[in-house]
Structure 1
Amino acid sequence: MYARLTFVRQLLPLSGRAYSTTARVPLAFELHKPPKETDKPHAPIIFMHGLFGSKKNNRSMSKVLARDLGRTVYAVDLRNHGDSPHNPTHDYLAMADDVEGFIEEHRLTGTTLIGHSMGAKTAMTLALRSPDIISDIVSVDNAPIDAALLSSFGKYVQGMKKIEEVGVTRLVEADEILKNYEESLTIRQFLLGNLYRPKDEKITKFKVPLKILGAALDNLGDFPFKDPDEVRFVKPALFVRGTQSHYVSDEALPIIGRFFPRFELVDIEAGHWVISEKPELFRRGMHGHLSQRNNC
């Protein structure tokens, strides 16, 4: 058995909203359509990456979900990531507001939100703030709680800043520097995926604004909603956690159930990078949950 499912069926009232005070950012995205068009319309999926990620991280899984479910998948770049614009405000209310703007711009209805890590808290925030425009959510290895990020994220920022200070011209040079901050080749490759060479320049730079994201690390550990007696999302919610990760502990399950009273839990034998570590198990979990949504 690859996963354990926990069902919480209690339905509770919903109230309360929170808003961002910063301007919306238009989000870059990749569109993944089903290989075969059908007469029956299916609701779209918005797929959101984690910190230092981008839409390309979810490209393969987005194509698989579009194929398996017959649903259009929008893999987006959240603000200050990938090809989306930079903005000095980087918190969950602002990112959720960007995604709401994306839904409005593309006139999407019945939307499913899938988010990993930072993207998961963005999905939860939008679902609690604007439940009428969301059909259901999938939160991958994060919970609606205040919890400090791993100290490694601060080290990643230090290493990436060092790479820019040195002014490297080759990827292998950047990797040698980053080895001093992160042992895992897989994680280093993930971080270095943000490197690019500006036109007519020899020195590589990072697409992500390191100063902004470095200053936002404390905010990214927090969750903007504190009281589940004031606001709840009473539609379906799937929480996927890596059993080797610390982000969704057993102690967090009661608060998840209060904010998301219809949540289901899937455990996958993996660390924090659930999707890349165990893509087939993740696909199965998504297929089971989202196929039910297709049939609703």
Structure 2
Amino acid sequence: MRSVSRGLQPIYAPLLHPKHSTRIALSCTSPQPAWTRSFHATASYRALDLSYSLHDNQGKAKGAPILILHGLFGSKKNNRSVSNAFARTLSRPVYAIDLRNHGDSSHDKDHTYTALAEDVEAFLHKHNLKDATLIGHSMGAKTVMTMALRDPSCCADIIAVDNAPVDAALASDFPRYVEGMRKAEEAMPMSQKDADAIMEPYAKDLPVRQFLLTNLVREPGKPLRFRVPVKILADALDDMADFPFKNPDEARFCKRALFIRGTKSHYVSDETLPIIGRFFPRFELADVEAGHWVISENPEAFIKTVVDFLQETE
């Protein structure tokens, strides 16, 4: 793990790679101009009630809340162990959330970052959660970035894991995963083993396949099916590559932000650092030895990176 650029000055957008020799001045101390966000950034959706698990170290965690949001095809169960670790180490309650169309949360044909953000904003309001830290991986990372730029007062800080505030095509793996899930569903498998065999040509890596197959559910006497709406998520892949804010001069989050990237992943390239710095002038960067699935591939380094960031004093 390599941490970069601690203690950044809040009035600058940092360019954190050695090849960059300049800083872009961005004021966060003067009032921001009024802006008209794009329709995509502000479109109103029907907020869904989200399923969640609370990890509070048997009631001992009493600090400011932490919300952790999974990535595409994930669920709150993926973050169980790290949520427990944060609750114990930081003495802060952790809400692991199922985003819409995932886990035990409701399904809806609208699956954009604005819709995802509005769901989580409604969750914060419903549970009266103040001064929260928002942590998100991949799809969850773009969701917390969207929330922070829509309403900086919604949280105390954010931690974005292996994604950047840019329009960028998803890895070609994701359309293949969706195709494999469709084939598996059409085959109506009666066992996990049968579903795994169908998925193998579309997801060669066993850990990835096992991750995708955690979405299978069974009703007595019926074939296995995916609890996620595969067609809705397939149709949403272009939206998941998008980012609703285009102009960092019109929306900015001037509180602390940590961007964690996998050293073997391409989602947060050095070329994205200047735009990250313009949207999030106080951002810090940390590299973790992992691919895109940072949390599951290297949970120890991920936990340490998050704890170090959250334990820093202003």
TM-score (norm 1): 0.95
CA distance in 2, matches of 1:111, 1:249: 28
Please tell me whether the aligned partners of residues 35 and 67 of structure 1 are also in contact (alpha carbons under 8 angstroms): no
Match of 2:50 in 1: 27
Match of 1:253 in 2: 273
CA distance in 2, matches of 1:119, 1:133: 16
CA distance in 2, matches of 1:137, 1:160: 32
Match of 1:81 among 91, 102, 105: 102
For residue 2 of structure 2, what is the amino acid of its counterpart?
Answer: A
Tell me by how many angstroms 1:20 deviates. Answer: 3.0
Please tell me whether the aligned partners of residues 239 and 264 of structure 1 are also in contact (alpha carbons under 8 angstroms): yes
Matched ranges for 1:103-114 at <5 A = 103-114=124-135
Tell me by how many angstroms 1:36 deviates. Answer: 6.2
1:130 aligns to 2:151 (yes or no) = yes
Deviations 1:171-229 (A, max 9, x none): 0000001111111000000000000013x342010011011000000110010000000
Tell me by how many angstroms 1:130 deviates. Answer: 1.1
Match of 2:76 in 1: 55
For residue 49 of structure 1, what is the amino acid of its counterpart?
Answer: H
For residue 243 of structure 1, what is the amino acid of its counterpart?
Answer: T
Match of 1:236 in 2: 256
5+ unaligned residues in a row in structure 2: which ranges?
12-26
Matched ranges for 1:84-103 at <5 A = 84-103=105-124
For residue 42 of structure 2, what is the amino acid of its counterpart?
Answer: Y
Match of 2:214 in 1: 193
Match of 1:153 among 161, 174, 180: 174
CA distance in 1, matches of 2:135, 2:126: 19
Structure 1 vs Structure 2 CA RMSD: 1.3
Match of 1:6 in 2: 5
Match of 2:307 in 1: 287
Deviations 1:69-112 (A, max 9, x none): 00000000000000000000000000000000000000000010
Deviations 1:141-177 (A, max 9, x none): 0000000001110011110011110100100000001
1:219 aligns to 2:239 (yes or no) = yes
Deviations 1:218-261 (A, max 9, x none): 11001000000011000000000001100000000000000000
Q: Secondary structure at the match of 1:232?
A: coil
For residue 124 of structure 1, what is the amino acid of its counterpart?
Answer: M
Tell me by how many angstroms 1:5 deviates. Answer: 1.7
Q: Secondary structure at the match of 2:198?
A: helix
Please tell me whether the aligned partners of residues 66 and 95 of structure 2 are also in contact (alpha carbons under 8 angstroms): yes
Match of 2:223 among 203, 213, 219: 203
Matched ranges for 1:157-172 at <5 A = 157-172=178-193
Q: Secondary structure at the match of 1:218?
A: helix
- % same residue: 54
Greater than 3 Å deviation, 4+ residue runs: 13-18
Please tell me whether the aligned partners of residues 20 and 97 of structure 1 are also in contact (alpha carbons under 8 angstroms): no
CA distance in 2, matches of 1:155, 1:201: 29
Tell me by how many angstroms 1:35 deviates. Answer: 4.4
Please tell me whether the aligned partners of residues 112 and 137 of structure 1 are also in contact (alpha carbons under 8 angstroms): yes
Please tell me whether the aligned partners of residues 262 and 287 of structure 2 are also in contact (alpha carbons under 8 angstroms): yes
Please tell me whether the aligned partners of residues 43 and 110 of structure 1 are also in contact (alpha carbons under 8 angstroms): yes
CA distance in 2, matches of 1:22, 1:133: 18
Please tell me whether the aligned partners of residues 147 and 154 of structure 2 are also in contact (alpha carbons under 8 angstroms): no
CA distance in 2, matches of 1:29, 1:35: 16
